[in-house]
């Protein structure tokens, strides 16, 4: 089954002023104006969603958010619901990123790591809330360096995929997007060997197949994330199980982001 490539830019806590966000979004729109056959998404900080929405409106570039809460309303200070994001023009939501799980490629200080409390259970609640709001979740999974060296990569990845999908129906599953991001390659400049990245993305698809069958597994798109750049994008994106990229640092420069889109 042919799957449309999907490239998403995760701006993280960058380009957070209206001027910065508008400038980058407009550059991305201009850079991809003539491109077709690929889904392009930008995921800015919450504070500039409205600004970026205006900048991409009328273009093929889609608006995404970096997280969502699983409740619709209530006494949840600082949280943002999927319904709020939908009203802001968001179509895609990154969920379960290693940084919200407290799993960092570059170690975080011991005294602050507890701030990041994401678990497979909360990711699952968010996935179901985002689907209920009519948005598309981009579900992040990936192993730490210690887990890889201990030979636990496949177990960690398959467990995270299965955990995120509890209660998700066969009808809902085909629209999901997964992003395999080896934690040790995020923000470190290290990149997973393309053949190995493809193998692990295949584990993601295999897990989906075990839960929903071949047809659903063949339709789900799986991104690779973790130091994807213009100089390695083509080789990564040529792998049969890799359908796109969740891009961090390279998404902050329109020319680099466009080069990755071209490779897709």
Tell me if residue 143 is catalytic. no
Whether residue 10 is annotated as binding a ligand: the answer is: yes
**Which one of the listed residues 99, 118, 147, 181 is annotated catalytic?**
181
Give the pLDDT score at 105: 81
Give the pLDDT score at 27: 98
Whether residue 71 is annotated as binding a ligand: the answer is: no
User: pTM of whole model > 0.85?
Assistant: yes
Strands (E), the chain: 6-10, 39-43, 61-65, 92-95, 136-141, 177-180, 221-224, 244-247
* Integer CA distances (angstroms), 132 to 80, 87, 193, in order: 15, 14, 36
**Which one of the listed residues 83, 97, 143, 241 is annotated catalytic?**
97
Show the domains of the chain with their CATH numbers.
Answer: 6-263 (3.20.20.70)
Whether residue 35 is annotated as binding a ligand: the answer is: no
Residue 208, token pair as written in the block: 């989906």
Tell me if residue 97 is catalytic. yes
CA distance 169 to 208: 12
CA distance 130 to 136: 7
* Integer CA distances (angstroms), 40 to 32, 33, 161, 217, 261, in order: 8, 11, 23, 22, 8
Whether residue 86 is annotated as binding a ligand: the answer is: no
Q: Average pLDDT of each block of 10 consecutive residues along the chain (264 residues)?
A: 93 98 98 91 98 97 98 97 98 96 86 90 98 98 94 98 98 97 86 94 98 98 94 97 97 97 95
């Amino acid at each position: 089954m042919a799957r449309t490539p999907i490239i998403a830019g995760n701006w993280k806590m960058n380009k957070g002023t209206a001027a910065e966000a508008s400038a980058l979004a407009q550059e991305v729109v201009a850079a991809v104006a003539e491109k077709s056959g690929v889904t392009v998404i930008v995921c800015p900080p919450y504070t500039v969603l409205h600004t970026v929405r205006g900048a991409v409106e009328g273009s093929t570039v889609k608006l995404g958010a970096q997280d969502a809460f699983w409740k619709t309303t209530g006494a949840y200070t600082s949280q943002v619901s999927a319904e709020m994001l939908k009203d802001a023009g968001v179509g895609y939501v990154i969920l379960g990123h290693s940084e919200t799980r407290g799993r960092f490629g570059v170690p975080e200080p011991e005294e602050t790591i507890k701030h990041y409390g994401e678990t497979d259970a909360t990711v699952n609640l968010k996935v179901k809330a985002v689907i209920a709001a009519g948005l598309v979740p981009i579900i992040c999974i990936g192993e730490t360096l210690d887990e890889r060296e201990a030979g636990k990569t496949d177990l960690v990845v398959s467990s995270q995929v299965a955990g995120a999908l509890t209660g998700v129906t066969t009808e809902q599953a085909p629209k999901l997007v997964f992003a395999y991001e080896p934690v040790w390659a995020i923000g470190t400049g290290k990149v997973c060997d393309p053949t190995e990245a493809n193998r692990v993305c295949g584990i993601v698809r295999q897990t989906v197949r075990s839960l929903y069958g071949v047809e659903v597994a063949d339709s789900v798109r799986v991104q690779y994330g973790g130091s994807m750049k213009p100089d390695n994008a083509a080789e990564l994106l040529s792998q049969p199980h890799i359908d796109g990229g969740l891009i961090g640092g390279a998404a902050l420069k329109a020319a680099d982001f466009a080069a990755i889109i071209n490779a897709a």
